[in-house]
Structure 1
């Protein structure tokens, strides 16, 4: 099980290593607030945008990190020192 987890995190590590900070300011802000426990709707209010926009930023961050979900994208951003 540990082996599978380690192998599954390789794409995120490669993406993080090859790009120092591939995220836009808004993508970074959204990941930060979600990592602080805020919901999509709460992040939308904080940033003054719609919840659909927040979800779009998070989706772009997930894609840029080759992550499978928002938790993996947040973990990759934290490990990389981006947030």
Structure 2
């Protein structure tokens, strides 16, 4: 293998490592919180925001108050 070819391969590897290092540095700069803090925040949100999908917290809701219940459109029977 020629010296020129080895130099190209080495430069390519170096560029790849530098790009990877740049991505890792960007990840390090990104703000983050601990999992326990995120879970606590989610629990606070679920306890303070009424959600019909959480009956264990908010209790069962009536069908007329449930926005996800299909609404009746009146009579669906036609006589010909």
TM-score (norm 2): 0.22
Name the one with the larger helix percent.
1
TM-score (norm 1): 0.22
